[in-house]
Amino acid sequence: MLSSRERICSTSKQPTMDPAKDVHVLVLAHPVQGHINPMLQFSKRLASKGLKVTFLIPISTKKSLNLVNASSVQVEYISDGFDHLSIDESLKHFRLSVSQGLSDFIQKHQSCQDNSATVLIYDSFDCWALDVAIEHGMHGAAFFTQSCVVSCIYYLVHQGKVKLPVEAVDGQGRVLSDPPAMSVLGLNDFPSFVVDVHKYPAILKMVLRQFSNFRKAKWLLFNTFTELEEEMVNWMGNQWLMLTVGPTIPSLYLDKRLEDDTDYGLSLFKPEAEACLRWLDSKPPCSTLYVSFGSLASLGEDQMEELASGLRSMKSHFLWVVRESEEEKLPRNFLQELGLDDDKKGLVVRWCNQLQVLSHGSVGCFMTHCGWNSTLEALSLGVPMVVMPQWTDQPTNATFIVDVWKVGLRVRANERGVVTGEEIENCVNEIMEGGERGKEIRENSLGWKEMAKRAIDEGGSSEKNIQEFVSNVLDLCT
C-alpha cells in the first residue's frame, strides 16, 4: 500500500494539458461534522475548476468517519496524537499535536518537487495552521465556517470594541448599533461563549484567537453568500479583503453543475437513509415536520419529554433525529407508541442524510437548533424553520432566521428554561397549516432558495468569488 507521499508523487506524474492540474492546494479541516462539510464541499468546487486538492483530517476521526463520495478530492489523515485520549485531553493538546502533524505532512509534500503544495486553506478555528504554512513558505487562506455576523462579533470582542461579559447598552436590550446589521441583536441573541464567558473558557479563547493572526492570511473565505448578509459583507469588506463562497452545499441541490456531487462525502455518523426515504415516500406533500439538533447539541431530559409531548399532539407527521447518545432521554415507551409500520405518525432515527430529507416533497417544516450548516441548507432548499437554539452561534442565527430573513418562528422557553410541548405544537401548526403568517414564511423561504441557487450558479456572486480565488492561486503558482 502506498504511503501518503507516494500516492501524491505518483499522481503528479500523470500527463495533463491543464496548468491548473499542476497547482496543489491543501485543505485542513477541524474534526467536527459542521466544519468538515463546508470545507470539503468548497474543496470539490476548487477541484471542479482544475486544482489538485488534498483534504486533511486528524487521524483520530478515521475510525468513526464514513467516506461516501469525495472522488474529486484526495482525502488524507495526519497525525494528531489523540488516538487513545479523552475529549478533554484532545482539546488540551490539539493545537500542539496537529501543528506538528501538519508540518510533517507539508515537509513530505515539499520533497516531492513536482507536486508540492503552495497554498493551505485552513479552518479559522485552527489559526495556528497559518503560522505553520508561513513557516514552510506557503500562502494561507482562512476559511470561516460560521456566518459573517457571528465572525464579526468575535472580531469586535477580540479587538476590545465589545467588552466581556457582553452587556446591553440601551433600554431596548441592544448591545451594538454599529455595524448596522447588529442592531437587531439583543443580549440573549449573542453567541453563548461571549454571554456566559465562564462556562466554556477554552472554546471562547479559540473563537477569539481566529483573529489573532488573520491579517497574515492572503485570503479570507466565508461560508455565506453576499445577498444573505449584504450589510455585514459590505461592512467587513471595508475593513479587509474577503470573499463569500457559499452556500457550500452539494451541487445536486443547487446549481447541478458538478457531476456526481450528490453528498458532502464524509460523515462522522452513519445515516439511516433507506428507512427515512421509504417512510417519507408514504407521506403526503408538506405534511411532515423534520426535527434535528445536529451533531453536538444535547437536550435535557425535561426538554426531551416536552418535545416528545409536542410531537405527539401536533397534527403533522414527524421525522425526529435522536443520536444514539441521546436515546436514553426519550420518554419511556415513546418508540413503542409510534408503531412499526409506514403509517405511523412519527419516525425516530439515529441519523439521516439531512439534504435528502429537507429536499423531500413530504417535508414542510424543519425544527432546528440553528447550526450554520443546517441554516444554510434550509435556506437553500426553501424549507421554513421552527427554531430552538441551544448554544454557540445558534442564538444569533435564530434571530436572523426569524427577524431578518423572516423564514421561521422561534419557540420560547418558560421560567424553567424549558420549551413546552404546547409552545412547540403552536409554532409548528402556524407554519404547517397555511395561515397568513405561515404563508408569508413559506414565500420568503422560496425566495431565499432562488437567491442561494443564483449565488453559486454561473455568474453568481459566490461563483465569481470562487473563480477569483482560483485565478489568484494560479497567478501565484504558475
Place of cell 461579559: 165
Share of the chain above pLDDT 70, in %: 87
What is the pLDDT at residue 19?
55
Domain coordinates in residue numbering, the chain: 20-257+457-477, 272-453
Q: Are strands 66-67 and 266-267 parallel, antiparallel or unpaired?
A: antiparallel
Could you tell me the pLDDT band of residue 79, with boundaries at 50, 70 and 90? confident
Q: How far apart are the first and last CA of the chain?
A: 32
pLDDT of residue 1: 27
Give me the percent of the chain exceeding a pLDDT of 90.
68
Q: Which residue in this structure is represented by grid cell 482560483? A: 470
* Number of neighbouring beta carbons within 10 Å of residue 64: 11
> Annotated catalytic, 84?
no
Cα→Cα distances 462→70, 335, 388, 456, Å: 21, 44, 29, 5
* pLDDT of 341: 63
Residue with cell 488516538: 83
pLDDT tens, position by position, 200-229:
888 899 999 999 999 999 999 999 999 999
Query: pLDDT at position 4, please?
Result: 32
pLDDT tens, 269-295? Answer: 889 999 999 999 999 999 999 999 998
| pLDDT of res. 160 | 92
What backbone phi and psi angles, to 5 degrees, belong to 53? -125, 130
Q: Say which CATH topology domain 20-257+457-477 has.
A: Rossmann fold (3.40.50)
What pLDDT is recorded for position 16? 38
Closest CA to 405 of 464, 359, 457, 452: 452
Topology match between the domains 20-257+457-477 and 272-453: yes
Per-residue pLDDT tens digits for 254-274: 999 998 899 998 888 889 999
Q: For residue 179, is the peptide bond before it cis, meaning its omega torsion is within 30 degrees of 0?
A: yes
Contact 401, 370 (CB under 8 A): yes
Confidence of residue 88 (pLDDT cuts 50, 70, 90): low
- Max avg pLDDT among 29-43, 432-446, 453-467: 453-467
Check if 139 is active-site: no
Q: For residue 79, give the nearest of 141, 28, 15 by alpha carbon.
A: 28
Fold classified for 272-453: Rossmann fold (3.40.50)
**192 close to 214: Cβ distance less than 8 angstroms:** no
Q: Per residue in 325-373, pLDDT tens?
A: 999 999 988 988 887 666 688 999 999 999 999 999 999 999 999 999 9
Distance CA 68, CA 66 (A): 6
Element (H, E) at 409: strand 408-410
- Averaged pLDDT score across all residues of the chain: 88
* pLDDT tens digit sequence for 35-74: 999 999 999 999 999 999 999 988 777 766 766 556 789 9
Q: Which of 30, 80, 109, 123 is catalytic?
A: 123
Q: What is the pLDDT of residues 131-157, one digit of tens each?
A: 999 999 999 999 999 999 999 999 999
Give pLDDT, residue 265: 84
Integer-rounded Cα Rg, in Å, for the chain is: 22
Average pLDDT over every residue of 187-202:
90
Q: How far apart are CA 232 and CA 234, in angstroms?
A: 5
- List of residues 6+ apart from 251 with CB closer than 8 A: 44, 257, 258, 261
Which amino acid would we find at residue 87?
A: I
Q: Looking at residue 366, what is its pLDDT?
A: 98
Catalytic annotation, pick one of 35, 109, 139, 360: 35
Written as nine digits, the cell of 196 is 456566559
Q: Cα–Cα distance between 175 and 57 in angstroms, integer?
A: 38
Mean pLDDT of 307-323: 95
| 450 CB-near residues (< 8 Å, 6+ apart) | none
Dihedral sign for Cα 203, 77, 297, 378, please: positive
